[in-house]
Structure 1
Amino acid sequence: MAESDFRSTNEHGTVVVEWPRGYAQHRSLAPGACFLRIGGHALEGLLPFHWKFLEPHVGARSGLTVIIDLTDLQTYDSGYRAGWTQWLREHPAQIHLYSPSRMVRMGAAVVHLATDKITAYDSLGALYAFASKSVPGFAASSIPAPRAARAFG
């Protein structure tokens, strides 16, 4: 897909990117901490939007904590996973994510083996509990609501 196939808007501090088969929400939580939610099919072409959002938040010393909710993610391009692996190798960041999909958690395990920078949680509650303890000011109310449920196809 071309970059013109993606639509990016800012909704009350949340950068939202939409494309025919999915969406992504990006939100700053605190210095050195961000939240992402991806739904539908994650395309490799989405990565530049992630990087544009995340890069300014990466601290040289403290790094970046990224909380990712993949509850609505259905599938992803293999290049999407490879792109995250490369980015994590080049940046001081730690990813903490939840996905109900065993396949997605296996993909996260592959990235973890390559980078030692990703932790997958068994439940959304466990991810949010981690974020509440580790990210100053994090609360479930501080993150955007998921996009309206729709079939991506």
Structure 2
Amino acid sequence: MQVEQIDARVFRRVMGKFATGVTVVTFEHEGQSSGMTANAFMSLSVDPPMVLIAVRKQARFAASVAPGDAFGINFLHEEHQALSSHFGGRPVLQTPEFCTLAGSPVLAGALVQLAVRANAVHEGGDHLIYTADVLALEESDGRPLLFYSGTYKHLHALDPATCWFDLG
């Protein structure tokens, strides 16, 4: 079987067509709370509760977090676009507000905050894949910030009272 050569820019653009929530992974780097925006996140297991993230091998996270280390995962509210940009390499905030959940740094006011502990790291091309056990979680109400095709999007729910469906 011959594998087609795929241009990295085309692959990135096509993968951008998969809508994702926006997460910020928070961790301790050189004694300071730090973070990075990541969309390579997923729930891995319900029993026991586990998640998975993938980060570039060159990321500060990869140099800071090893198996056994705690870190946080934060789902952003739709109004947190500035936080996403800040932790995505375009700093726009003076000092993001961190707090602690079960010993892990997390972002104050995030839609969801997960405190996790890395249990394994696997190589995956130019990324490292971390599996982590969920130690604690907090959630709030609101709509998530979404990312699709290179831009931020917002979730808009239809009002069932104004929708009409022909089921026959």
TM beyond 0.5:
no
Higher helix proportion: 1
Q: Highest relative contact order (Cα 8 Å, sep 6+), 1 or 2?
A: 2
Query: TM-score scaled to structure 2, two decimals?
Result: 0.28
Higher strand proportion: 2
